[in-house]
Amino acid sequence: MKKPVLTIAGSDPSGGAGIQADLKALSANSVFGMSVLTSITAQNTCGVSSVFHLPSSIIQAQLDAIFSDIPVKTIKTGMLATTEIIKTVSHTLATQNIEHLVVDPVMVAKGGHRLLEDEAISALKDTLCPQATLITPNIHEAEVLSGITIKTLAEARNAAKIIHQLGCQHVLIKGGHLHEQPGTDLLYDGRFFRMFKADYIQTKNTHGTGCTLASAIAAELTKGKPMADAIEAAKTYTTEAIRHGFSLGQGHGPTDHFYFLPK
């Protein structure tokens, strides 16, 4: 039996990011993906045009339906756009025996559309971050969470220390937009740093890479890998998914979550 992993996130109808990317990445990494939907976006490869946030009551009902029936030890969160949604998710997870919580603090879509309300940032810091086994901000998100500008690895280290003080066990700052050594991710566990390097692939087809990486890490954690090994495996998988990405539409195309299957 495949181990279940639950993703709690928003929907991307174009299939490149959000719940859709999460489920593909989870399946590709040999776990059983389940989903709780928080928001419905109208988006394509060019950007987000509209967003509808589901009422907290239906989000709560989805969570209750899962937890009342299926033992879930690993959760991955993505787009949690409002204070109410964050608190609903956080309070529910606090009542469960969760072993791994991977928080991808989704804030802005590639096209610039804000996916996290400004007033919800405090709720993210105060409620969800302290519950997280791992938080996976990109450079922009790490700047918001830490309050400092990040252009170098030294600044990324400082930001990781600040974010770790929010209460999470591990911080992984993704370096795809890092000016110095782009593509280098930085892990901090409160004591030690570890860098994860991979080929930096020049391509516009990177839609949903953050969702994909966080979901792949969650899959590896639930299969029993230690944190560093889970990140290493997930980064290798995500890099190859990017390498095999393809154009779809007129904007940022998706990665190929199943690049390893026969064409």
Q: What letter represents residue 63's amino acid?
A: L
Q: Is 16 a catalytic residue?
A: no
Q: How many residues does the chain have?
A: 263
CA atoms of 1 and 67, how far apart (whole Å): 18
Is 190 one of the catalytic residues? Answer: no
Q: Which of 91, 96, 101 is nearest to 56 (CA)?
A: 91
What helix, strand, coil percent values describe the chain, rounded to 5? 40, 20, 40
Instruction: Put the strands of the sheet holding 185-188 in their side by side order.
Output: 47-53, 32-44, 4-11, 74-77, 100-103, 134-135, 170-173, 185-188, 193-196
C-alpha distance from residue 86 to each of 60, 77, 193, 235 (Å): 11, 10, 29, 27
- Catalytic residue check, 211: yes
Measuring CA to CA, how many Å separate 27 from each of 5, 35, 172, 207, 216?
A: 10, 12, 23, 18, 9
Catalytic: which of 38, 45, 184, 209?
A: 209
- Residue 135 half-sphere exposure toward CB, CA atoms < 13 A: 29
Catalytic residue among 45, 174, 183, 222: 174
Looking at 33, 78, 183, 208, which residue is catalytic? Answer: 208
Q: From the candidates 18, 33, 211, 238, which is the catalytic residue?
A: 211
Instruction: Please identify which of the residues 16, 18, 33, 210 carries the catalytic annotation.
Output: 210
Reply yes or no on whether 151 is catalytic: no
Per the annotation, the verdict on 92 as an active-site residue is no
- For this structure, is 46 an active site residue? no
Which residue is catalytic, options 41, 45, 88, 206? 206
- Which residues are designated catalytic? 174, 206, 208-211
